[in-house]
Amino acid sequence: MSVTTERLASGISTTPRKMLVGGVWADALDGAVLETLDPATEEVLTTVPLGGTADVDRAVRAARAAFEPGSPWRRLSPSQRGRLIHRLGDLVLEHAEELALTESRDNGKPVAYAALADIPMAADLFHYMSGWTTKIEGNTIPFSAAPPGSFLSYTTREPIGVVGQIIPWNFPLMMAAWKLAPALAAGCTVVLKPAEQTPLSALRLGELIQEAGFPDGVVNIVTGDGATGAALVAHPDVDKVAFTGSTEVGKEIVRASAGNLKKLTLELGGKSPNIVYADADLPRAVAASAGAIFFNQGESCMAGSRLYVQRPVLDQVVEGLVAEMNRLVVGVGADPATQLGPLVSREQLDRVRGYLTSGVRDGAVPHTGGQSLPATGYFAPPTIFTGAEPGMRIVDEEIFGPVLVVLPFDGLEDVVAVERANPYGLAAGVFTRDVGKAFRTADAMRAGTVFVNTWNALDAALPFGGYKQSGWGREMGHAVLENYLETKTVIADLS
């Protein structure tokens, strides 16, 4: 797929957007809107409705109506449901170029990477999950408390109901797909709340959902901010909430969902250790470790943001990383040559700058990419810190920007000792040519995903999620379906 300059010039529509409630494109009931910006130019792209409590309530009612027994959605056979989901995956691919550009303009990310990663991965989720609709099965289970043959007992799996899904701004369309695909495969209905910074691709997906032929109300998309998300979490008729975002908000959601004891899954932050042994294929380790932090401007929950390098190769690896960093093409995301775009917002840029300042103040040594940054736009300088130590904020906290800290180590036990205090456990990586060492290291990591001699490799079929404060539950793979299903046990006395 290529992104032509003609299409880039034509850009994306500035028409104010509406949100999708019960199959109707609607404004907020009170008419409130929020602006969405192009982070590369700081210009307003367009507005979307700022959904309030009443809008959330309307959307939840629509989702509930669509979930009632006998509704068009509930009357679909599993294979019919699967075909709709598959068709949606096809439509995402058919509109890949447009969606990649939308993603790039709304989020800032390089359009080339959106076309290579975000959009195909979003389509994959729908295609992969479409096959599960016909494979959600219960069991027939022996009943031992009565004579054989006198009881029949079995389980069925049923959709959990109305699901609220709240997603972040770093991979807007991909996060929408990660959330929607399994919920729909399980037969749930959804109210999706995109991030306030990046609502556009989800709204376009809403149009494709209609085009695919999903019944009205099965997917509702309410745009808005944190308060809109909070209204969804507080709503008494939402059966389950699935959230991806910051650990801080994740904890708020745990507290706020107590009202009706919603089922909850959370995919939260990370500060993921990446371990390079002296016996690694160093050019490969350096290239992958640079990708682990600089891909998507470091705005990735699984960024390899804490690099451990075995002492004998420390200087060599740092030198290689600095060279990789200096080679990055920094610029406007919509330029197909760009490898590092702006951060998503002024707020995020200020956050990252705050960490750069704190690192220097704490005595770490910054190495910055030599690139001159554009004067407008939320561009942060890619930065590698050496001389950093645990206890410094840049080492301990998730930065969510293109900032890497490098820590020397002697043996695995040193890494394990530091990692014990890591509140996160989303991803980890190891680079070595020694197979035994690779798997011993993978075994020692308390992380939901461990990369061996690679990073940033994900697949719709592979479970993804966090240990410790990186979250509850898993996304993707058939593991995610558990989050959207209830188990019903039926016990029949045959006498």
Residue 308 or residue 400: which is nearer to ligand ADP going by CB?
400
* Segment near ligand ADP (CB under 6 A); pick from 53-61, 87-95, 164-172, 274-282: 164-172
- Give the shortest CB-243-to-ligand ADP separation in angstroms: 7
Residue 194 or residue 304: which is nearer to ligand ADP going by CB?
194
Task: Please give the full DSSP string across 293-362, using - where no structure is assigned.
Answer: HHGGGG--TT---EEEEEGGGHHHHHHHHHHHHHH--BS-TTSTT-SB---S-HHHHHHHHHHHHHHHHT
* Segment near ligand ADP (CB under 6 A); pick from 222-230, 259-267, 388-396, 423-431: 222-230
Q: Choose which of 78, 226, 374, 423 interacts with ligand ADP (CB under 6 A).
A: 226
How do beta strands 306-310 and 273-276 pair?
A: parallel
Residue 325 or residue 343: which is nearer to ligand ADP going by CB?
343
Q: Is 196 in the site for ligand ADP (CB under 6 A)?
A: yes
Q: List, in sequence order, every residue forming a beta bridge with 310; answer none if it has no partner.
A: 409
CA-nearest of 256, 288, 219 to 62 is 219
Distance (Å, rounded) from C-alpha 98 to C-alpha 80?
Answer: 28
What sign results for the dihedral spanned by CA atoms 124, 337, 37, 343?
positive
Q: Residue 203: CA atoms inside 13 Å, Cβ hemisphere, count? A: 27
* Segment near ligand ADP (CB under 6 A); pick from 91-99, 161-169, 355-363, 388-396: 161-169
Q: Phi, psi at residue 419, to the nearest 5°?
A: -65, -20
Q: Among the options 267, 299, 419, 475, which is catalytic?
A: 267
- Contact status, residue 399 vs residue 355, Cβ threshold 8 Å: yes
Report 232-251 residues binding ligand ADP (CB under 6 A): 233, 245-246, 249
Per-position x/- string for 428-467, each x denoting binding to ligand ADP as judged by CB under 6 A, each - no binding = ----------------------------------------
Active site residue 301: yes
Q: Is 168 in the site for ligand ADP (CB under 6 A)?
A: yes
- Give the shortest CB-354-to-ligand ADP separation in angstroms: 14
CA distances from 172 to 121, 198, 199, 402 (A): 12, 6, 8, 19
Q: Choose which of 45, 166, 174, 242 interacts with ligand ADP (CB under 6 A).
A: 166
- Give the shortest CB-487-to-ligand ADP separation in angstroms: 28
**Structural tokens at position 102:** 């939308």
Q: Residue 266: CA atoms inside 13 Å, Cβ hemisphere, count? A: 26
- Give the shortest CB-342-to-ligand ADP separation in angstroms: 15
Helix, strand, coil shares of the chain as percentages rounded to 5?
Answer: 40, 20, 35
* Segment near ligand ADP (CB under 6 A); pick from 44-52, 92-100, 221-229, 470-478: 221-229
Q: Choose which of 195, 292, 303, 325 interacts with ligand ADP (CB under 6 A).
A: 195
Distance (Å, rounded) from C-alpha 468 to C-alpha 422?
Answer: 9
Residue 27 or residue 252: which is nearer to ligand ADP going by CB?
252
Task: Please give the full DSSP string across 453-495, using - where no structure is assigned.
Answer: S--S---TTS-EE-EETTEESEESTGGGGGGGEEEEEEEEE--
Active site residue 188: no
Q: At what angle do helices 172-186 and 200-212 cross, to 10 degrees?
A: 40
Report 249-288 residues binding ligand ADP (CB under 6 A): 249, 252-253
Q: Among the options 188, 299, 301, 398, which is catalytic?
A: 301
Residue 319 or residue 347: which is nearer to ligand ADP going by CB?
347
Position with the least CB separation from ligand ADP: 229
- Give the shortest CB-62-to-ligand ADP separation in angstroms: 20
CA-nearest of 200, 24, 192 to 98 is 200
Residue 78 or residue 226: which is nearer to ligand ADP going by CB?
226
Residue 170 or residue 310: which is nearer to ligand ADP going by CB?
170
Residue 196 or residue 216: which is nearer to ligand ADP going by CB?
196
Residue with tokens 């004998």: 312
Q: Is 120 in the site for ligand ADP (CB under 6 A)?
A: no
Q: Within a 10 A sphere around the Cβ of 422, how many other Cβ atoms?
A: 23
- Give the shortest CB-255-to-ligand ADP separation in angstroms: 10
Q: Phi, psi at residue 43, to the nearest 5°?
A: -90, 150
Q: How many residues bind ligand ADP (CB under 6 A)?
A: 16
Residue 107 or residue 289: which is nearer to ligand ADP going by CB?
107
DSSP code at position 139: -
Q: Choose which of 95, 193, 235, 306 interacts with ligand ADP (CB under 6 A).
A: 193
Rule CB under 6 A: which residues touch ligand ADP?
166-168, 193, 195-196, 225-226, 229-230, 233, 245-246, 249, 252-253
Question: Which positions are catalytic?
Answer: 267, 301
